[in-house]
Amino acid sequence: MPNQSHLSKLFLNLPIERKLLLVSAVPILTLIVLSVVTYKSVQMFSHDEEQLNHVYHIQSASAEYMRLVVDLETGFRGFVLTLQPQFLQPYKAAKKRVLSVGQALLQMVKNDAVQVHRIERVQALVQRLMRDKDRLIARAKEGFPDEARTYIESGTGRALMLSIREEMARFDRREIDVLRKALYSSSQDRTVLMGVVIGGGAFALLLMFLPLHLIARSITGPLTELAKTVSTAPGGTIPEVTVLDREDEIGSLTQVMQSMNAQIRSHIQRIEQSEKELRVLNQSLAASEAKYRSIVDHAPIGIFTIQDDRIIFSSRENWKLAGLQAEEGRDPNILWQAIHPEDAPIVREAFALAAQQGKPFEKVFRFLHPTGMVIKVLSRATPIKNDTDHTIIYQGFNVDITALEQMRIQLNRAERLAALGQVAAGIAHEIRNPLVGIGSTTSLLLEDTSSDDPRRADLLTILQETRRLDRIVNQIVDYARTRELHPTRFAIKELLEESWALLKEPIERKHIAVTLSVSPPSLGLEADRDQLKQVFLNVIHNAIEAMEEGGSITIQVTQATREHSQGVAVHIQDTGKGIAPHDLPSIFDPFFTAGKRHGTGLGLALCRNIVEAHQGEISATSEIGVGTVVSIWLPSTLNSQSAS
């Protein structure tokens, strides 16, 4: 018993690695022997498989050989019976391959003298068959097919075919015998292999299980006791671990666990103290975060943060500038998609360049709202860098400059009109008085000139041109003067019908069809009625002049919103000759005219002055040979600034 106790303690004190090596020696040796036996069995089985594969290839080649011989016969008979050259194709194809397949069979059975002798006899018969058929085919081509038919009827070829089939049948039967022997041998080898694998594996597993069971008992026993000690400890306390009197890993584990318990108790005390300090710090941080978030959310500018070309934060005002709702959990990176399609690639390229160079970003671009409204913003972003001068994020803001841009356009327009007004006043002063004198003198001369006087036609020309110049001067003064609006509330449909009625004579003369559509029919507008009437008369008159007989004018009026303002959109479309693309941007410029013999180039310029005085917009699109569409947008209600 003392010796057994000493051996047991010596076994327990061994490291687990050595225990495994010690108890695994017997099964390892068993596995080595089993592997050698299995290897031999596998070699025998592989040899049987190779023999089966060889027999399979021989049979496949034999079948192909017989198929080619049959193709020789059928091709020959088809040609002899029909004398059609296409029936020789199977014969020629078989003739090219039959002898080479026969040689391949000879190589496959070269170790079997009986089979070699049979294939050689068959090859001789096939060669004889082909010689006979080649001769008869040649005679048939020369115009003597009866010899070939006599050959077929006499059965000479059939006798050769029967001899070939009999020899090949004997060849196949011998190969089948070889196949049966190979299958039997393979079956026997498989049975032996399975017995070795299953029996030897079971024996090896048994030899491995017994030592492993001993090791498991020496390990799981102490671990189970440790688990019970830990699981039965009261919640929130660190259990006491008993140190085992062992020199292996289990003994070391109990010593380490006892040391860890002491360290954990010390760490828990420090963590509890840190938790109290952290709770106070979090309360202060939460208050600070709420204060700064309130400042950002209520700032009058849009604030955003970009990291690696992705927008990771956007303030409420920035969502508003983009025309989107600041919903909880919504990805702010979709703000890139809210940029106007014409500006988006330019903005992305400019930001990518700034980020690549680590420089501040600044750009003016437009946001396109889902409602169609356009907001112009000034965007600036500054790179925030770490200690290694690497850019972490870009912090930026967007400022709405739509109103500022409109004021700038209006100021430029006002300055241009003021300068043109001074020029017009000088023209009126310098030209109008001489024109009055010329016109009066010409009228007096006409009164003193008889109707048959040859000079009377010249005097009439002078008087007409003088009046035309006076109209041009009046149009220039009218274009340059400051517009005083006298707004009233009226129905847009009635005004368009009046304008249409005033141009009834040229419309009927050219047989032009006019279509008016107002939705809703009672749509009203607050504006200077007389000046807008001048606009519609001018645009419709231009449409009439642009068309030949039989054209059409379509007028559509709908409600429309532009930049926070409700308004009315008027689209006047004709089927005229259209405006050239290079002329279209200039049609609203003063003194620009294209395709009109008597135009001054001030009609559409006056229209633009009147529309812009109403805080509206006028534009045109055109296509050569299709027609032109003039689009006018006017606010439904004039503000005090527009009226003044």
Per residue in 407-417, pLDDT tens? 787 677 667 76
Given pLDDT bands bounded at 50, 70 and 90, which one contains residue 119? confident
Residue 15 in any domain: the answer is: no
What's residue 105's pLDDT?
Answer: 81
Q: How far apart are CA 458 and CA 362, in angstroms?
A: 66
Q: 601 and 461 share a domain?
A: no
- 611 close to 549: Cβ distance less than 8 angstroms: no
pLDDT band at 154; cut points 50, 70, 90: confident
Report which secondary-structure segment, H or E, holds 489.
strand 488-491
pLDDT band at 432 (very low <50, low <70, confident <90, very high): low
CATH code, 45: 1.20.120.1730
Q: What is the mean pLDDT of residues 339-359?
A: 90
Same domain, 443 and 367: no
- C-alpha span between 129 and 94 (Å, rounded): 13
Last residue of a domain, one of 456, 480, 504: 480
**Rounded Cα gap, residues 516 and 496, in angstroms:** 8
**Domains in the chain, number:** 5
Q: What is the DSSP letter of 584?
A: G
What value does the mean pLDDT take over residues 563-580?
A: 89
Q: What share of the chain is helix, strand, coil (3-state, %, to 5)?
A: 65, 15, 20
Say what percent of the chain tops pLDDT 70. 77
Task: Describe the crossing of helices 113-141 and 145-154 by its angle, rounded to 10 degrees.
Answer: 140
Does one domain contain both 475 and 499?
A: no
With a cut of 90, say whether residue 161 has pLDDT above it: no
Looking at the fold, whether 531 and 412 belong to one and the same domain comes out as no
Phi-psi sector, 551: left (phi>0), alpha (psi -120 to 50), beta: beta
pLDDT of 186 strictly over 80: no
Q: How far apart are CA 603 and CA 615, in angstroms?
A: 19
Output the pLDDT for position 241. Answer: 65
User: What pLDDT was estimated at residue 632?
Assistant: 94
Residue 304 lies in a domain: yes
Are 90 and 158 part of one and the same domain?
A: yes
Residue 9 lies in a domain: no
Residue 7 domain-assigned? Answer: no
Domain that holds residue 440: 407-480
Is residue 20 a part of any domain in this protein?
no
> Do residues 377 and 366 touch, judged by C-beta distance below 8 A?
yes
Distance, CA of 507 to CA of 353 (rounded, Å): 58
Query: Is the dihedral angle over the CA atoms 230, 235, 236, 237 positive or is it negative?
Result: negative
Lowest mean pLDDT among 120-134, 184-198, 545-559: 184-198
Would you say residue 551 has pLDDT above 80? Answer: yes
Cis upstream peptide for 506 (omega within 30°): no
Residue-wise pLDDT for 603-634, tens only, equals 888 888 889 888 899 999 999 989 999 999 99
- Flag whether 320 is in a domain: yes
Residues 458 and 395 in one domain: no
Q: Residue 141: inside a domain, yes or no?
A: yes
Same domain, 474 and 500: no
Q: Which of 15-24, 339-348, 554-563 has the lowest mean pLDDT?
A: 15-24
* CA–CA gap between residue 578 and residue 459 (Å, rounded): 38
Q: Is the pLDDT assigned to residue 235 strictly greater than 80?
A: no
Give the whole-angstrom CA distance, residue 640 versus residue 118.
119
For residues 63 and 423, the model is more confident at 63
Q: Among 248, 268, 295, which residue terminates a domain?
A: 295
For the ranges 131-140, 336-345, 423-432, 567-576, the lowest mean pLDDT is seen at: 423-432
* Whether residue 512 is found in the same domain as residue 605: yes
How many residues make up the chain in this entry?
Answer: 644
- Do 303 and 291 lie in a common domain? no
- If asked whether residues 439 and 348 sit together in one domain, one would say no
Classify strands 488-491 and 391-400 as parallel, antiparallel or unpaired.
unpaired
pLDDT at position 360 is 93
Shared domain check, 303 and 288: no
Average pLDDT over residues 14-28: 64
Q: Do 247 and 323 have their domain in common? A: no
448 and 490 Cβ atoms separated by less than 8 Å: no
Q: Establish if 221 belongs to a structural domain.
A: no
Under DSSP, is residue 638 helix (H, G, I), strand (E, B) or coil? coil
Q: How far apart are the first and last CA of the chain?
A: 122
The pLDDT tens digits of the residues spanning 22-37 come to 666 666 776 677 677 7
Q: Take residue 600 and report the two structure tokens written for it.
A: 């001054």
Q: How far apart are CA 293 and CA 287, in angstroms?
A: 10
